[in-house]
């Protein structure tokens, strides 16, 4: 398989591959990290949890892009402006590179990864907000948000606070970063949306 063919495969099936990677990461973290560094375990755990979140969004039942375009942006196009390219690059860069990257940096300094549980928590809350905005009981990603991202995020934050690693649950820079990264996503969505409207009008 050529590099180009591999990239095209990854671009098409990244979420399915992410599910398999998540299983591997769960086994690895529970087998080798949990017993040696529980704080690092909690920070790294957010990555495979979010990959499971992505599985619900884009594999089973999937359809988050369509939901966002039609039910949030109120457009008639299911695959624009939030298209395959936007979804692929945002998820792979943020969840596959940045999240585990800062998790690994936390092995040297916990402070570098303390924003990650906040990110996971706010990402879950965002799906509740999307359900309310769309006036629908369900959107792709909501179930994992309610069952995993929000409770594990809260549990991780409370544990870190209990260990004195987070001096205050609310008044800290890590909360701001976690929230800010989440807020960056809708801002980027708005930019793509406005560019789409300009393209249509041209």
**Residues 6 or more apart in contact with residue 160 via CB below 8 angstroms:** 39, 42, 114, 117, 166
Structure pTM?
Answer: 0.96
* pLDDT above 70: percentage of residues in the chain: 100
Domain, as residue range, for 51 = 3-201
Span 36-89, pLDDT tens digits:
999 999 999 999 999 999 999 999 999 999 999 999 999 999 999 999 999 999
The total number of structural domains that make up the chain: 1
Span 108-154, pLDDT tens digits:
999 999 999 999 999 999 999 999 999 999 999 999 999 999 999 99
- What DSSP character marks residue 63? -
Span 153-168, pLDDT tens digits:
999 999 999 999 999 9
Q: What is the mean pLDDT of the chain?
A: 96
């Amino acid at each position: 398989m050529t590099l180009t063919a591999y990239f095209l495969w990854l671009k098409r099936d990244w979420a399915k591959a992410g599910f398999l990677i998540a299983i591997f990461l769960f086994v690895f973290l529970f087998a080798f990290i949990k017993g040696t560094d529980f704080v690092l375990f909690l920070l790294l755990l957010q990555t495979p949890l979010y990959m499971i979140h992505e599985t619900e969004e884009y594999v089973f039942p999937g359809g988050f892009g369509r939901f966002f375009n039609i039910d949030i942006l109120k457009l008639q196009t299911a695959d624009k402006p939030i298209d395959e390219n936007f979804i692929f690059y945002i998820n792979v860069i943020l969840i596959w590179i940045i999240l585990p990257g800062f998790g690994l940096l936390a092995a040297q300094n916990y402070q570098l990864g303390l924003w990650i549980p906040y990110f996971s928590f706010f990402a879950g809350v965002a799906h509740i907000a999307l359900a309310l905005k769309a006036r629908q009981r369900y959107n792709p990603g909501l179930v994992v948000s309610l069952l995993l991202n929000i409770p594990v995020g809260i549990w991780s934050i409370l544990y870190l606070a209990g260990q004195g690693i987070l001096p205050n649950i609310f008044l800290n820079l890590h909360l701001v970063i976690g929230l800010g990264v989440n807020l960056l996503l809708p801002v980027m969505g708005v930019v793509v949306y406005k560019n789409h409207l300009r393209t249509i009008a041209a």
